A = this chain, B = another copy of it.
Amino acid sequence: MAVREKVFDVIINCFKRHGAEVIDTPVFELKETLTGKYGEDSKLIYDLKDQGGELLSLRYDLTVPFARYLAMNKLTNIKRYHIAKVYRRDNPAMTRGRYREFYQCDFDIAGQFDSMIPDAECLKIMCEILSSLQLGNFLVKVNDRRILDGMFAICGVPDSKFRTICSSVDKLDKVSWEEVKNEMVGEKGLAPEVADRIGDYVQQHGGVSLVEQLLHDPKLSQNKQALEGLGDLKLLFQYLTLFGIADKISFDLSLARGLDYYTGVIYEAVLLQTPVRAGEEPLGMGSVAAGGRYDGLVGMFDPKGRKVPCVGLSIGVERIFSIVEQRLEALEEKVRTTETQVLVASAQKKLLEERLKLVSELWDAGIKAELLYKKNPKLLNQLQYCEEAGIPLVAIIGEQELKDGVIKLRSVASREEVDVRREDLVEEIKKRTSQPLCIC
Contacts and interface: CB of A to CB of B under 8 A. Distances in A.
A356 B242 contact: yes
A428 interface: no
Contacts of A109: 373
Contacts of A73: none
A26 B338 contact: no
A124 B360 contact: yes
Contacts of A189: none
Interface string A111-147: 1011001101100100010000000000000000000
Contacts of A373: 109, 111, 113-114, 117-118, 121
Contact of A360 (B23, B114, B243): B243
Contacts of A360: 124, 242-244
A366 interface: yes
A239 B49 CA distance: 48
A357 B239 CA distance: 9
A21 B47 contact: no
Interface in A353-405: 353, 356-357, 360, 363-364, 366-371, 373-375, 389
Interface residues of A, number: 67
B436 A437 contact: yes
A436 B2 CA distance: 22
A24 interface: yes
Given A18-B363, A437-B436, A438-B439, A24 B1 contact: yes
Interface in A327-357: 337-340, 352-353, 356-357
A13 interface: yes
Contacts of A87: 27
Given A17-B367, A49-B49, A101-B27, A239 B356 contact: yes
B23 A1 contact: yes
A21 B337 contact: yes
A89 B48 CA distance: 12
Nearest to A116: B373
A85 interface: yes
Interface string A48-81: 1111000000000000000000000000000000
A48 B46 contact: yes
Residue from the set A19, A22, A89, A367 with the largest chain B CB neighbour count within 10 Å? A19
Nearest to A377: B114
A440 interface: yes
Nearest to A337: B21
Nearest to A78: B337
Interface of A: 1-2, 5, 13, 16-24, 26-28, 46-51, 85, 87, 89, 101, 109, 111, 113-114, 117-118, 120-121, 124, 128, 238-239, 242-244, 337-340, 352-353, 356-357, 360, 363-364, 366-371, 373-375, 389, 436-440
List of 4 A-B pairs having minimum Cβ-Cβ separation, nearest first: A436-B438, A113-B373, A19-B370, A21-B337
